[in-house]
């Protein structure tokens, strides 16, 4: 299984697309957090990274499906899927190897934002004046959002053999999960709104960003990952 995992990572860093996606992600975040006057920490004047944690899920909605779109769609299109499926790896192992590789890439994308953490500590007055629990809660929240989106993206990639279709589907599903349900929650539709907001990723993400890591939120997020990976296995089993 590890050789497939390594192959996925290599394929990403062996292609221009990989670096392009990572670079765009970091440039976009850098601009949002430090430059754009609407959201810039420097203009805002408070030593926190609200901007980073509010806008990263928006960027993730596009970034993660872009990373995951090839994962299965491309293998099916070129026929190399047949090589994998006739190897001793089981379908679950194949999906898992691909998922873990994606997760690593999401982590790699997020790691440089720890520099922001250091910068904000230095910018605080007095130095070090920062809600650290809040920061790390949000940061773990971001990783979880990335992890859920990766599972969603993989699922979308399993549905079709066209990369572009997988990308559009992935973006759409991520959008619905993160923004759609919470918007439904805001619509004042009684019980439906209550359930919808409970189902939305942003609801659980905001819970985590308070710095309280609640088992219910983690359970929900891991449940989503399990659901979409399981869905991918189910879809591919009969193909």
Partner 1 sequence: MSLEVSKLTKLYGNQKALDEVSFSATPGRILGFLGPNGAGKSTAMKIITGFLSAESGDVKVMGKDALNSPKEVSRLIGYLPEHNPLYLDMYVREFLEFSGGLYGMSGQLLKSRTKEMLNRTGLEPEQHKKIGQLSKGYRQRVGLARALIHDPQVIILDEPTTGLDPNQLVEIRNLIQEVAKDKTLILSTHIMQEVEAICHDVVIINKGKILASDSLSNLKSNSDETILILETEEELELEWFANLDKIDFGAKGERELLVSTTDPASARKVIMQVIHERSLNLISLNQSKKNLELIFREITNA
* Angle, CA of 139, 218 and 26, to the nearest 5°: 25
**Of 30, 58, 85, 211, the one binding partner 1 by CB under 8 A:** 85
The residue among 84 and 218 lying less far from partner 1, judged by its C-beta, is 84
Q: Which two tokens stand for residue 72?
A: 């299965």
Non-local (6+) Cβ contacts of 174 within 8 A are 60, 61, 64, 65, 149, 152, 153
**Of 37, 38, 86, 215, the one binding partner 1 by CB under 8 A:** 86
Under the binding rule (CB under 8 A), the answer on residue 90 touching partner 1 is yes
With contacts defined by CB under 8 A, name the span among 7-15, 22-30, 119-127, 152-160 that binds partner 1.
7-15
Under the binding rule (CB under 8 A), the answer on residue 189 touching partner 1 is no
With contacts defined by CB under 8 A, name the span among 4-12, 25-33, 154-162, 217-225 that binds partner 1.
4-12
**Of 4, 49, 102, 224, the one binding partner 1 by CB under 8 A:** 4
Kindly state the smallest distance separating residue 238's Cβ from partner 1, in Å.
9
Under the binding rule (CB under 8 A), the answer on residue 14 touching partner 1 is yes
Under the binding rule (CB under 8 A), the answer on residue 7 touching partner 1 is yes
Residue in 129, 154, 161 with CA at minimum distance from that of residue 64:
154
d(CA 77, CA 135): 42
Under the binding rule (CB under 8 A), the answer on residue 82 touching partner 1 is yes
Number of residues that bind partner 1 (CB under 8 A): 22
With contacts defined by CB under 8 A, name the span among 10-18, 28-36, 112-120, 219-227 that binds partner 1.
10-18
Q: What DSSP string describes 104-169?
A: HHHHHHHGGGHHHHHHHHHHSSSTT-S-HHHHHHHHHHHHHHHHHHHHHHHHHHHH-S-HHHHHHH
Task: Give, rounded to a whole angstrom, the gap between the first and last alpha carbons of the chain.
Answer: 21
């Amino acid at each position: 299984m590890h050789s497939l995992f390594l192959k996925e990572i290599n394929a990403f860093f062996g292609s221009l697309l990989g670096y392009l996606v990572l670079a765009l992600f970091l440039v976009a975040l850098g601009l949002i957090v430090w430059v754009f006057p609407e959201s810039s920490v420097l203009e805002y004047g408070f030593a926190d990274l609200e901007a980073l944690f509010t806008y990263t899920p928006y960027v993730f909605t596009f970034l993660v499906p872009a990373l995951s779109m090839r994962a299965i769609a491309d293998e099916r299109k070129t026929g190399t899927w047949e090589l994998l499926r006739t190897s001793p790896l089981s379908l679950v192992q194949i999906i898992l190897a691909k998922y873990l590789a994606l997760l690593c890439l999401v982590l790699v994308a997020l790691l440089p934002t720890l520099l922001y953490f250091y910068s904000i500590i230095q910018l605080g007055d007095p130095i070090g004046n920062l809600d650290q629990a809040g920061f790390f809660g949000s940061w773990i929240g971001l990783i979880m959002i990335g992890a859920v989106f990766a599972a969603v993206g993989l699922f979308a990639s399993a549905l079709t053999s066209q990369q572009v279709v997988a990308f559009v589907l992935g973006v759409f599903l991520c959008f619905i999960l993160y923004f759609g349900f919470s918007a439904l929650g805001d619509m004042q539709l009684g019980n439906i709104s209550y359930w919808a907001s409970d189902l939305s990723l942003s609801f659980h993400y905001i819970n985590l960003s308070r710095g309280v890591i609640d088992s219910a939120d983690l359970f929900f997020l891991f449940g989503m990952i399990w659901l979409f990976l399981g869905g991918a296995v189910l879809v591919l089993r009969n193909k």
